[in-house]
A and B are shown apart, each in its own frame.
Chain A
Amino acid sequence: MLLLTCPYCGASVEETELTPGGEAHLKRYGPGSTDQDFEAYLFLRPNKKGVHFERWRHAYGCGKWFLAARDTATLEVFGTYSAQTTKPPAEIIETIQAKHPDWSPE
């Protein structure tokens, strides 16, 4: 049962107060995009066994979406951060690399 800190409330809340939202940092492809890009955007997922960036909504709390960097093999959480970003912030990346030196963002 996961425990995540909502970056907006600053409260550490358990999974049952949140709703999961799948892969984070997806780029939306709309009209005019290629079938490939659109398929990738909607369906194709890295589904990493390891470092994973994902969306959560503090549904039973402030109602805000936030993002988390989590290891899907150990469930270690490297940090949570604002949903208003297109890529993981530097400090999160540092935290991850501190634990996994050979890891680098795609």
Chain B
Amino acid sequence: MRRYSAFAIAREAARHHLGWERAWRSPEPKASYDVIIVGAGGHGLATAYYLGKNHGIKNVAVIEKGWLGGGNTGRNTTIIRSNYLQDPSAAIYEKARSLYETLSQDLNYNVMFSPRGVMMLAQTQHEIRGYQRTAHANALQGVETEFISPRKVKELCPIIELKGPRYPVLGALWQPRGGTARHDAVAWGYARACSDMGMDIIQQTEVTGVRRDGGKVVGVETTKGYIGCSKLGVVVAGHSGVMAERAGFRLPIESVALQALVSEPIKPCMDVVVMANTVHGYMSQSDKGEMVIGGGADGYNNYTQRGSFQHVEETVRALIETFPMISRLKMLRWWGGIVDMTGDRSPIISKTPVENMFINCGWGTGGFKAIPGSGWAMAELMAKGESPLAAEFSMGRFREGRFIDESVAAGVAH
């Protein structure tokens, strides 16, 4: 792989950029692989990447029914933070966040990780207590976070209306090294690196079945025919239920639409990410200038990538209350994604009832931030059969009643 750099660009400029090579190959599938990953979203590609990088497993295919990165990875509001309450969550999200810090260098691809800071506004006494609890937990979890005063909030984000009137801002939980990244670039950077390791990324190919032999996975049926494998990792987010059915089991997951929207681009006016959970809205500004806004999830099962208007209405209403200056901005585009919601709203990284078949799903509304950590843990689980980061996220927890509930500290999952 020819490395990217300013010099490379200068060199190419001289020949009108005719010399750039493909970012990733698009090969025909081989008869079989050591490992097949289903789903070329961030989590699937990261899993493949760390299988190769950390465990030397490179005879890997990543099979994608559409275009790589076109799932939720390609349609999320890119908030990255790790100040979660529960130990297992904080561990994997912080692992991910710290990997993001150096991801551009690791991948030689600028994923534009921007640790501009994330704040979650406290607008009720209950939220204050919840966030102070989180802050205490984070201190022990090694996550840098802090409960800040309204004054500091206004300093960091001048466009906020502190006085409410309905819900005055009483403080905020602030993670200075949280931020955003260029979502597409994360998928592309991993894909390029995987391809460079000799892995096959096979797009426009749907996995339609899981072939088993005595409870053991031996390969997958696809729209391009049968492909063998000794281990299978299913990382298909919203379609996890569909894939589980094809493998003969059920998951504690329901797929619903989650929406987002962007305003027309304007000059920089917001340097941090703000989440206002009392009124249900969050916003940040992309490098291109749009205000990136996340809406709520629908309450009904849906595979259409279109959501219901009232969630957008509620979100925009909430954000105008929080950031009155957006009232005269315009919504440019509005879309949805299919998110995989588990029974406790926490992810699953787990073995499955089918031997040698692993699943990574349930990231729901908040898995973009987890991509590197999740890939790291999933790869370790698939390579070694266990991973400390993944241990608590096994499917078994639902049977034992051992939940990982993040909603408790007035937190949301994004």
B392 within 8 A of partner (CB): no
B300 touches A54 (CB 8 A): yes
Q: What is the CA–CA distance of A44 and B255 in the complex, to the nearest angstrom?
A: 13
- Which residues between 199 and 255 of chain B lie within 8 Å of chain A, taking CB atoms? 239-242, 245, 250-255
A49 within 8 A of partner (CB): yes
CB distance from B50 to the nearest CB of A (A): 28
- Which residues between 70 and 84 of chain A lie within 8 Å of chain B, taking CB atoms? 70, 72-75
- Which residues between 1 and 16 of chain A lie within 8 Å of chain B, taking CB atoms? 1-2, 15-16
A35 within 8 A of partner (CB): yes
Say yes or no: A49-B308 contact (C-beta < 8 A), given A20-B299, A36-B399, A42-B343: no
Considering only CB atoms and an 8 Å cut-off, how many residues of chain B contact the other chain? 24
Chain A residue with the shortest CB-CB distance to B400: A35
Q: What is the CA–CA distance of A76 and B310 in the complex, to the nearest angstrom?
A: 20
CB distance from B401 to the nearest CB of A (A): 9
The contact of B252 among A20, A44, A74, by CB within 8 Å, is A44
Q: What is the CA–CA distance of A42 and B240 in the complex, to the nearest angstrom?
A: 18
Chain A residue with the shortest CB-CB distance to B398: A43
A46 touches B310 (CB 8 A): no
Considering only CB atoms and an 8 Å cut-off, how many residues of chain A contact the other chain? 27
A22 within 8 A of partner (CB): yes
Contacts between the two chains (Cβ within 8 Å), count: 71
The contact of B255 among A2, A19, A35, A47, by CB within 8 Å, is A47
A35 touches B241 (CB 8 A): no
Chain B residue with the shortest CB-CB distance to A22: B254
B105 within 8 A of partner (CB): no
B399 touches A45 (CB 8 A): no
CB distance from A63 to the nearest CB of B (A): 17
Enumerate chain B residues within 8 angstroms of A43, measured Cβ to Cβ.
252, 343, 398
- Which residues between 38 and 79 of chain A lie within 8 Å of chain B, taking CB atoms? 39-40, 42-49, 52, 54, 70, 72-75
Q: What is the CA–CA distance of A70 and B304 in the complex, to the nearest angstrom?
A: 13
CB distance from B222 to the nearest CB of A (A): 17
Which secondary structure dominates where chain B touches chain A?
mixed
B300 touches A49 (CB 8 A): no
CB distance from B330 to the nearest CB of A (A): 21
Say yes or no: A44-B302 contact (C-beta < 8 A), given A1-B310, A2-B308, A36-B399: no
Q: Which interface residue of A20, A46, A75 has the most chain B CB atoms within 10 A?
A: A46
B251 touches A45 (CB 8 A): yes
Chain B residue with the shortest CB-CB distance to A46: B250
- Which residues between 273 and 319 of chain B lie within 8 Å of chain A, taking CB atoms? 298-304, 308-310
Q: What is the CA–CA distance of A22 and B251 in the complex, to the nearest angstrom?
A: 15
Chain B residue with the shortest CB-CB distance to A50: B303
The contact of A39 among B239, B300, B399, by CB within 8 Å, is B399
A15 touches B242 (CB 8 A): no
Q: Mark B29-67, 1 if CB is under 8 A from A, else 0.
A: 000000000000000000000000000000000000000
Q: Could you show 6 A-B contacts with beta carbons less than 8 Å apart?
A: A2-B308, A44-B251, A44-B398, A45-B241, A46-B245, A75-B302
Chain B residues near A (Cβ < 8 Å): 239-242, 245, 250-255, 298-304, 308-310, 343, 398-399
What are the 7 closest A-B residue pairs judged by CB atoms, nearest first? Answer: A47-B241, A43-B252, A20-B299, A44-B250, A43-B343, A39-B399, A20-B300
